[in-house]
Amino acid sequence: MSLEITEAIAGSVTILKTKGFIDTSTSSILEENIKKTINQGKVKLIIDLADSDFISSAGWGVFVAYLRKARDSGGDIKLACMIEKVFKVFKLLEFDALIDAFPTVEEAIKSYGS
pLDDT tens for 26-83 read 999 999 999 999 999 999 999 999 999 999 999 999 999 999 999 999 999 999 999 9
Could you read off the pLDDT of 1-22 as tens digits, one per residue?
Answer: 689 999 999 999 999 999 999 9
Write down all domains in the chain, each with its CATH number in brackets.
3-107 (3.30.750.24)
Compute the CA torsion angle 57, 62, 68, 72 (nearest 10 deg): -170
